[in-house]
Chain A
């Protein structure tokens, strides 16, 4: 269970560029919940994700994950419990390393980092077996460098790396925005599948309101650093993109796409 308690984050405090990105946000995400986050540019969606993952610290409040207080933990320590996929497909993998080496690094979350061989036969068999589930033929390309993959393949691989060590929380920051529609659909389907893992909380930022309502089981809308809508269950099922626009006076064309 992820719990945010009265979180505040201001950038450039005391300067003319001062911007309150997160303004008194409290949020509880239960195990098994898959929340889609929408909101216009600058609403604080990415900052919220970054505050949870530790990319940026918070000014006030508390972040806990399954009773572990993350608030003061550095990013790399939080990553032991958190899987992440970024918007930029280049950010998810080490481009000059092979697919299997990338997977081995992703497995380090739950393993000791030492002078053991980085890959053994057991690892390779396990990777091959699991990669086959992606249905992209990556299991036969394990010795190829990840820079040879297409954006969609890379994002699928990153998603796979994010969940391979069974995190408690999956954070997706517009992870399909840079992909062509076909690849985006494929990655979203995989996301649905992976988010079904028991005990996993998933947060997904998207600019696509239709996708936000179609995927996951709860949707929140952010505006000016606050959560202004939080719908689930029946209310969410009856929600449409048109109603959302009417209700929140959304003027961002990009969100309508």
Chain B
């Protein structure tokens, strides 16, 4: 694998890390796997692509992507809390609906190529010319997202949000509107996902309506791999671990491509990785005796 290919997969991984943090918020913090992600990722891409292709400011485009994602997440939360639809099903419904919405955002086209329009990567590269400008920009955005999320989860609202995922009954008994917490959590979660989508569409200068398929699985894989490989000792470490998990996942995928894996096998491989990762808890218990010995020796 060439050096440029490795740098490229890290750049991509930094974008996916933002998405993974969004998935972390719904999957771990709110304890709800949120399938809206498959749709809201493309909503972010579509919003960003349409703003950029019509000559809009690429940073404004990202901001609008974020807002669009928040709206998508809010709809899922409202379906869940107001209409009492199961979280999984609410996510599926919104994901399905978003497919049509995304088409509308993209002006009825299935894909948009950003050939001549400016994007954050080119404008940042112009300002700070370097081979690594895309890498640096990705790192800056990711750092801002991690810092914001970390600070937020340490506020009173953040406490309430985390407790909602842990124990909703206790939250209501503490005078906190747990439905509002779900709304806020899913909105922020999908906001991050759509922000990542917006960045992705500018990074690869291409947006396709079907690019969101399986995104939630990629997000889950990143969360789980990150936690297993890099640890969960403190909240900050966990957020960084999830981000690194996304980068690692991206690198593994590009390495698999390099070894000759057909591109169409990617979804199956992703599904298998997540299945293995999700079952490690159970497998870990079965092999706990052996593990204990391992710890002793270590």
With A95-B167, A96-B166, A115-B152 as known contacts, state yes or no: A84 contacts B173, CB within 8 Å.
yes
Task: Tell me the interface secondary structure of chain B in the complex.
Answer: helix
With A115-B152, A117-B154, A118-B154 as known contacts, state yes or no: A105 contacts B159, CB within 8 Å.
yes
The residues in B between 152 and 187 inclusive whose CB is less than 8 angstroms from any CB of A are: 152, 154-160, 162-163, 166-167, 169-178
Query: What is the minimal beta-carbon distance from B105 to any residue of chain A, in angstroms?
Result: 31
**Per-position contact with B for A89-131: 1 when CB-CB < 8 Å, else 0?**
0111111110001101110110111111111000000000000
Contacting residues, chain B, for A161 (C-beta < 8 A): 174
Give the nearest-CB partner of B164 in chain A: A94
With A97-B163, A105-B160, A108-B160 as known contacts, state yes or no: A117 contacts B175, CB within 8 Å.
no
Contact at A118–B166, with CB atoms within 8 Å? no
With A94-B166, A96-B166, A97-B163 as known contacts, state yes or no: A105 contacts B157, CB within 8 Å.
no
| Bound Cα distance from A205 to B19, whole angstroms | 48
- Which of A19-27, A75-83, A242-250 interfaces with chain B? A75-83
Is A194 an interface residue when CB atoms closer than 8 A count as contact? Answer: no
Contact at A116–B169, with CB atoms within 8 Å? no
| Bound Cα distance from A114 to B176, whole angstroms | 12
| Bound Cα distance from A117 to B156, whole angstroms | 6
| Bound Cα distance from A97 to B155, whole angstroms | 13
Residue count of chain B within 8 Å CB distance of chain A: 22
With A115-B157, A116-B155, A118-B156 as known contacts, state yes or no: A79 contacts B175, CB within 8 Å.
yes
Contact at B156–A113, with CB atoms within 8 Å? yes
| Bound Cα distance from A180 to B178, whole angstroms | 32
Contact at B169–A91, with CB atoms within 8 Å? yes
**Per-position contact with A for B10-32: 1 when CB-CB < 8 Å, else 0?**
00000000000000000000000
With A76-B178, A95-B167, A105-B163 as known contacts, state yes or no: A118 contacts B173, CB within 8 Å.
no
Contacting residues, chain B, for A116 (C-beta < 8 A): 155-156
Residue among B152, B167, B174, B178 having the largest count of chain A Cβ atoms under 10 Å: B174
Give the nearest-CB partner of A90 in chain B: B167
Contacting residues, chain B, for A96 (C-beta < 8 A): 162, 166
**Per-position contact with A for B122-160: 1 when CB-CB < 8 Å, else 0?**
000000000000000000000000000000101111111
| Bound Cα distance from A91 to B168, whole angstroms | 9
| Bound Cα distance from A170 to B163, whole angstroms | 22
Contacting residues, chain B, for A79 (C-beta < 8 A): 172-176
Query: What is the minimal beta-carbon distance from A78 to any residue of chain B, in angstroms?
Result: 8
A114's partner among B155, B170, B174, B178 (CB-CB below 8 A) is B155
Give the nearest-CB partner of A112 in chain B: B156
With A76-B178, A79-B175 as known contacts, state yes or no: A114 contacts B156, CB within 8 Å.
yes
Query: What is the minimal beta-carbon distance from A186 to any residue of chain B, in angstroms?
Result: 21
Give the nearest-CB partner of B154 in chain A: A118
| Bound Cα distance from A93 to B162, whole angstroms | 12
| Bound Cα distance from A80 to B160, whole angstroms | 15
| Bound Cα distance from A96 to B172, whole angstroms | 17
Contact at B167–A108, with CB atoms within 8 Å? no
Contacting residues, chain B, for A80 (C-beta < 8 A): 175
With A94-B162, A97-B162, A115-B152 as known contacts, state yes or no: A106 contacts B157, CB within 8 Å.
no
| Bound Cα distance from A73 to B174, whole angstroms | 15
| Bound Cα distance from A112 to B158, whole angstroms | 13
Query: What is the minimal beta-carbon distance from A4 to any residue of chain B, in angstroms?
Result: 20
**Per-position contact with B for A32-68: 1 when CB-CB < 8 Å, else 0?**
0000000000000000000001000000000000000
Contacting residues, chain A, for B177 (C-beta < 8 A): 74, 76
The 5 closest A-B pairs by CB, nearest first: A94-B166, A94-B163, A79-B175, A109-B175, A118-B159
Which residues of B are interface residues toward A (Cβ below 8 A)?
152, 154-160, 162-163, 166-167, 169-178
Question: Can you list 30 contacts pairing A with B, beta carbon distance less than 8 Å?
Answer: A76-B172, A79-B172, A79-B175, A79-B176, A86-B169, A91-B169, A92-B173, A93-B170, A94-B162, A95-B166, A95-B167, A96-B162, A96-B166, A97-B163, A101-B162, A104-B156, A104-B159, A105-B160, A105-B163, A105-B171, A108-B176, A113-B156, A113-B160, A114-B155, A115-B156, A116-B156, A117-B154, A118-B154, A118-B156, A161-B174
